[in-house]
Amino acid sequence: MNKPWYKQFWPWFLIALPGTVVVASLFTFTLFSKNQVSLVAEDYYKEGKGINQDLSRLRHADSLSLSAFLTMQEDSAVFTLDKGQLKQFPTLKVTFQHRTLANKDIEQMVNADLNGRYRIALSEPLEGPWYIELNAFDGSWALNGRANLPSSEPVKLYGQIKE
């Protein structure tokens, strides 16, 4: 009449409850370690100090009367720079930052062509919300803007922050 414990239902039921929690925890840990979110900065204080430096570069672009327009074509992004008080078209560091997908970010150095346009060849069309920044090669000034791409209208990049 008395069965050994390992042949009864209730001990196995009670062992299975914590066992399923352990398996689910391992699955969740594996899932999140493979798909890490990159929205939170590890050193937010240092990035906050960098914002002030960015503002001074934007103000310097305003003092030079600089602005730019971005037009999207099928396989490229074309920047038209109004060089303001600059004597020549400088080499630019162009940055496209996606709002949530850091692996889609693009950073490239470009020179102007004979017409004063900067062209970046794209491996795939840009879609979604983007933060776009143009920096002087020497880092003395910057222009930036936000765009929801693809856009049929040119996107204006400013030196000052538009509110």
What contacts 92, CB < 8 A, 6 or more positions away? Answer: 79, 81, 109, 110, 111, 118, 134, 135, 136, 137
Distance CA 5, CA 13 (A): 12
Domains identified in the chain and CATH numbers? 66-157 (2.60.40.10)
Q: What is the pLDDT of residues 110-133, one digit of tens each?
A: 998 887 788 888 888 888 888 888
What contacts 78, CB < 8 A, 6 or more positions away? Answer: 70, 71, 72, 117, 118, 119, 120
Query: Whole-number mean pLDDT of the chain?
Result: 82
Q: φ, ψ for residue 40 (rounded to 5)?
A: -100, 125
Q: What is the pLDDT of residues 36-51, one digit of tens each?
A: 766 555 665 566 555 5
Using DSSP's 3-state secondary structure scheme, residue 159 falls into coil
Greatest mean pLDDT among 85-89, 109-113, 137-141: 109-113
Q: φ, ψ for residue 38 (rounded to 5)?
A: -110, 25
Confidence of residue 163 (pLDDT cuts 50, 70, 90): very low
Q: How many beta carbons lie within 10 A of that of residue 64, not counting itself?
A: 16
Q: How far is CA 156 from the centre of its chain?
A: 18
Distance CA 132, CA 106 (A): 10
Extract the tokens encoding 134.
């143009």
Please say whether the beta carbons of 89 and 109 come within 8 A: no
